[in-house]
Chains A and B, each alone.
Chain A
Amino acid sequence: DTEVTQTPKHLVMGMTNKKSLKCEQHMGHRAMYWYKQKAKKPPELMFVYSYEKLSINESVPSRFSPECPNSSLLNLHLHALQPEDSALYLCASSQGDRGRPGEKLFFGSGTQLSVL
């Protein structure tokens, strides 16, 4: 079983809805990530939080808004999404050491998002 917990597991939303994806880890990891994965494609990096600060934004559209309330939690707020945003959204975390985030990712089981 994964130690990174994502909720909900499935989400269906309309293009005018606002929803949030949640991710939680209690391994003491100091970096957290959002990836997007379309069917038969590899995961694509969206955002990285390192020591609770946004460190990487891969030019993601503003309709996706990440938030890191504390070192254990990571949210992804969704607003005015398009049907092409339908995908599996994966959260991951990695351990930190001496101010530098670890490299080995531990993934949650993902949220399968469908935008109608």
Chain B
Amino acid sequence: RKEVEQDPGPFNVPEGATVAFNCTYSNSASQSFFWYRQDCRKEPKLLMSVYSSGNEDGRFTAQLNRASQYISLLIRDSKLSDSATYLCVVNTYTGGGNKLTFGTGTQLKVEL
């Protein structure tokens, strides 16, 4: 089983749609969680951190369920500019450093 798993997609949605991405992780000792966005041929960029209480940043809402080892990202009112690959990232601090493991990524295509 991979450490961090996501549905690879692609998710093709019309502009204005709501889309949800899911992610599961296998290491119950993982401490912190993030969503990154990666555009084609560009570096990954931090989108948002994920907390158990749920957190929202504009049209984006992230949620963590530690018991189920499950992370989600909800995008409301999708824009064309949201088209990208969304990467779930799980951090396990090993005492010496952070081991941040990326999920396989989910590709989103927002269409007119």
Segment at the B interface, from A11-19, A59-67, A104-112: A104-112
By the criterion of a CB under 8 Å from any partner CB, how many residues of chain B are at the interface? 24
Task: Identify whether the interface residues of B are mostly helix, strand, loop, or mixed.
Answer: strand
CA A102 to CA B102, docked complex, whole Å = 16
CA A101 to CA B32, docked complex, whole Å = 13
Q: How many A-B residue pairs have CB under 8 A?
A: 62
A107 and B100 contact, CB distance less than 8 A: no
B43 and A42 contact, CB distance less than 8 A: no
- B38-52 CB mask vs A (1 if < 8 Å, else 0) is 000011111001000
Contacts of A56 in B (CB 8 A): 94, 96-97, 99
CA A31 to CA B102, docked complex, whole Å = 18
Task: Identify whether the interface residues of A are mostly helix, strand, loop, or mixed.
Answer: strand
Interface residues in A25-45 (C-beta closer than 8 Å to B): 31, 33, 41-45
B43 and A90 contact, CB distance less than 8 A: yes
Interface residues in A58-116 (C-beta closer than 8 Å to B): 90, 94, 100-110
In the A-B complex, list the 8 residue pairs whose CB atoms are closest, starting with the nearest.
Answer: A55-B97, A55-B96, A107-B43, A42-B102, A50-B97, A48-B97, A56-B97, A103-B91
- Residues on B facing A (Cβ under 8 Å): 32, 34, 36, 42-46, 49, 87, 89, 91, 93-94, 96-105
